[in-house]
Structure 1
Amino acid sequence: MTSVKEFRVEEPASADSLGRGAFVFTDDYSVFDWGKMPDSIPNKGASLCAMGAANFELLESEGIPTHYRGVVNGADVVPLGDVVTPPREMAIDLTQVPELPHEGREYDYTAFHEVAGENYLIPLEIVFRNTVPVGSSLRGRAAPEEFGLDYADWPDEPVDLPEPVVEFSTKYEESDRYLSRDNADYIAGKADIDDLETVAREVNDLVTEQAAAAGLKHEDGKIECLYYDGEIRVADVVGTFDENRFSFEGQQLSKEVVRQYHKRTQPEWVDAVDAAKAEAKAEGVADWRELCERDPEPLSGHVVDAVRDMYTAGTNAYIGRELFDAPSLSEAVETIRSL
């Protein structure tokens, strides 16, 4: 797993009831599925917490069920608007997360759902795309004409899609893979795949509108959901600069900035990651990291500062509030452009 947030359980979920707990957001980051990188980005965790909380509260106001309960402020759980300093903890309802048995890259979803019953975190990521940015995995899996685009090849700039595209990928496997609709339906278990797509499109619409109000363009993103007693609820964290890609005046604003920076400045490590993933897939090995011949190097201080300002200035703009001590979004973007 490559999560950069910690998990606190206060009351565990059972077969027939939700539990309670919290996400504790760290300043760690992960790119290329590596897991925790050798450095951290100050205020990144609080940025994700605030932006995610704002989106959950918007979803709840539109009648879309979620696992969100509020942000943690001392001993209290409160709405985001009640805090005066950036929060780092988000209170949530908990569902069951059964083990996913596997031998190498063969995963047993039947066994997963035998334990999951009517209360489980759906083992899928539901991806929605409004554009196809540079770096999008879609460019390597499909041709532009498949989406009604009049290009022979993908151009070297972001491309707007005529209609949002929804895809499904695995969540708990060592390396994510995109799925056919029938395969995704099987992996989803009792959760209906059409309902999952509907929820994803609703979330996409809401985040797109919120971003536009802040002068941001929402390019793509993903959600995770839980299934409880016949209902799908949005889970994990929604609409942040880690889960989604945004841009401002043509400049990418998301974790993709860090990903592309590593491609430019540490190409040998990126190539080693790709080679290890390919070798692991060929040999049926689940953990590709043990096959990687290089480790990543830390970022330079000025890069860490620029990425910190991207997260905090972007969050201020998105939530419409100066929650962080940060430069204006325009200033932060100009610094990012110079990296």
Structure 2
Amino acid sequence: MTSVKEFRVAEPATADALGRGRFVFTDAYSVFDWGRMPDPIPRKGASLCTMGAYNFERLEAAGVPTHYRGVVDPDAERTGAEGPDADRAVPEDAIVDLEAASAPPTEMAIELTQVPDLPYLGGGDGYDYEAYHEAADGNYLIPLEVVFRNTVPIGSSLRDRRDPGDVGLTVAEWPDEAIELPEPVVEFSTKYEEKDRYLTREEADRIAGVASIADLESIALAVNRVVTERAEDAGFDHEDGKIECLYVDGEIRVADVVGTFDENRFAYDGQEVSKEVVRQWYKRNDPEWVAAVSAAKETVAERDVADWRTLCTDDPVQLPDRVLEAVSAMYAAGANAYTGRDLFDAPAIDEAVDGVRDL
């Protein structure tokens, strides 16, 4: 389901009912949609699980429906086979609120919905969303990412797709600096296509099936408010983010994970504190691979294949140890600061941010 979280199913979803399962957050990371990169970032998985759980609990308190059930206590008893690759069963009493966890968790318990196959038609016909929704039967993961933006940084794709006036700005041209939007902007992009693309509201409405685009936008804005308020209280600037949602019994619920340094972009004292740090490192230090990725994504549109990675002519280099250590500290210290709890043995957020400032 995703390249950096592992997925466990306890009870599969059916057309009539949600199932149960969990995310296992690993220390793997992905940039430029590549999938798992060559080396893990220590403590990243626990940091993201912690932030995601914290945000889900705040969303529930705000009345926003989600698929979150709790985190798995790291010290809980388990049954089943042992070993690094074993999927050991988790008893219900091991699923707790974040505050009750004995240590930073790496597993999140969730409700599951159906995720049908999305057939690739090829020949310029794209993907068969009608087949997806026929198989979904009214209980499904909406095949969209709903993106919300509070700022427009330099290099944002929004600058290529929209004029400043379209997003409430009074300038004729985009300025050569990051700009804060007067009101958050919501956009829709594809979820399961090999090359993500932004959609018109009409395209998004078709791809969403029976789920309402207006309701998706409303939920995205509610999530943005909750995350932005907490970020401001903790000293962060919340720049943008995304949500994924499921549809069941006529209701839209927030799914996947919300408000982490991978799903959203945050800044602290003018420095990016998110996966963007690693993305920018690769742009500066492995431009050949970044260019090869871009070329492959462009080429796939002209070929009768879905996976652009098969066309990529280069592989990413590994991160140096000093970069891994600095980014690991950023994730852990950022999670501490965002939640207001000293869950990780990490430097203060100011020190950790300074550590990634000049990578």
TM over 0.5: yes
Distance in 1 (CA, whole Å) between partners of 2:159 and 2:287 is: 20
C-alpha displacement at 1:288, in angstroms? 0.6
Question: Which one is further off, 128-137 or 51-60?
Answer: 128-137
Q: Secondary structure of the residue that 1:20 maps to in structure 2? A: strand
C-alpha displacement at 1:146, in angstroms? 2.8
C-alpha displacement at 1:150, in angstroms? 4.5
Runs of 4+ displaced beyond 6 Å: none
| Percentage of pairs with the same residue | 67
C-alpha displacement at 1:15, in angstroms? 0.5
Question: Is residue 2:142 matched to residue 1:146?
Answer: no
Q: Secondary structure of the residue that 1:103 maps to in structure 2? A: coil
What amino acid is aligned across from residue 79 of structure 1 in structure 2? Answer: D
| Structure 1 match to 2:316 | 296
The number of residue pairs the alignment matches comes to 339
Distance in 2 (CA, whole Å) between partners of 1:232 and 1:174 is: 25
Query: Which of 107, 130, 135 is residue 115 of structure 1 equivalent to?
Result: 135
Distance in 2 (CA, whole Å) between partners of 1:2 and 1:267 is: 25
C-alpha displacement at 1:196, in angstroms? 0.5
Normalising to structure 2: TM-score of the pair? 0.92
Distance in 2 (CA, whole Å) between partners of 1:157 and 1:249 is: 16
Normalising to structure 1: TM-score of the pair? 0.97
Closer/same/farther in 2, CA of residues 135 and 310 from structure 1, 3 Å limit: farther
Closer/same/farther in 2, CA of residues 168 and 38 from structure 1, 3 Å limit: same
| Structure 1 match to 2:302 | 282
Q: Is the 8 A contact 1:7 1:21 kept in 2?
A: yes
Q: Is the 8 A contact 1:125 1:223 kept in 2?
A: yes
Q: Secondary structure of the residue that 1:283 maps to in structure 2? A: coil
Query: Which of 132, 136, 160 is residue 180 of structure 2 equivalent to?
Result: 160
Q: Is the 8 A contact 2:168 2:183 kept in 1?
A: no
Distance in 2 (CA, whole Å) between partners of 1:261 and 1:141 is: 26
Q: Secondary structure of the residue that 1:128 maps to in structure 2? A: strand
What amino acid is aligned across from residue 52 of structure 2 in structure 1? Answer: G
| Structure 1 match to 2:288 | 268
What amino acid is aligned across from residue 101 of structure 2 in structure 1? Answer: V
- Post-superposition CA distance 1:87-108 (Å, at most 9, x none): 0000000000000111236101
Question: Is residue 2:39 matched to residue 1:19?
Answer: no
Structure 2: any 5+ residue segments left out of the alignment?
A: 78-93
| Structure 2 match to 1:77 | 95
What amino acid is aligned across from residue 94 of structure 1 in structure 2? Answer: L
Q: Secondary structure of the residue that 1:30 maps to in structure 2? A: coil
Q: Secondary structure of the residue that 1:107 maps to in structure 2? A: coil
What amino acid is aligned across from residue 47 of structure 2 in structure 1? Answer: S
Q: Is the 8 A contact 1:120 1:227 kept in 2?
A: yes
Distance in 2 (CA, whole Å) between partners of 1:33 and 1:88 is: 22
| Structure 1 match to 2:30 | 30
Structure 1: any 5+ residue segments left out of the alignment?
A: none
C-alpha displacement at 1:83, in angstroms? 1.4
- Post-superposition CA distance 1:278-336 (Å, at most 9, x none): 11112243111111110000000000111111111111011110101111110011111
Query: Which of 108, 118, 130 is residue 90 of structure 1 equivalent to?
Result: 108
Question: Which one is further off, 323-332 or 283-292?
Answer: 283-292
Question: Is residue 2:354 matched to residue 1:334?
Answer: yes
Q: Secondary structure of the residue that 1:282 maps to in structure 2? A: coil
C-alpha displacement at 1:63, in angstroms? 1.2
Closer/same/farther in 2, CA of residues 155 and 306 from structure 1, 3 Å limit: farther
What amino acid is aligned across from residue 239 of structure 1 in structure 2? Answer: G
Question: Is residue 2:88 matched to residue 1:68?
Answer: no
What amino acid is aligned across from residue 195 of structure 2 in structure 1? Answer: S
Distance in 2 (CA, whole Å) between partners of 1:95 and 1:201 is: 23
C-alpha displacement at 1:153, in angstroms? 4.3
Closer/same/farther in 2, CA of residues 154 and 261 from structure 1, 3 Å limit: farther
Q: Secondary structure of the residue that 2:313 maps to in structure 1? A: coil
Question: Is residue 2:260 matched to residue 1:240?
Answer: yes
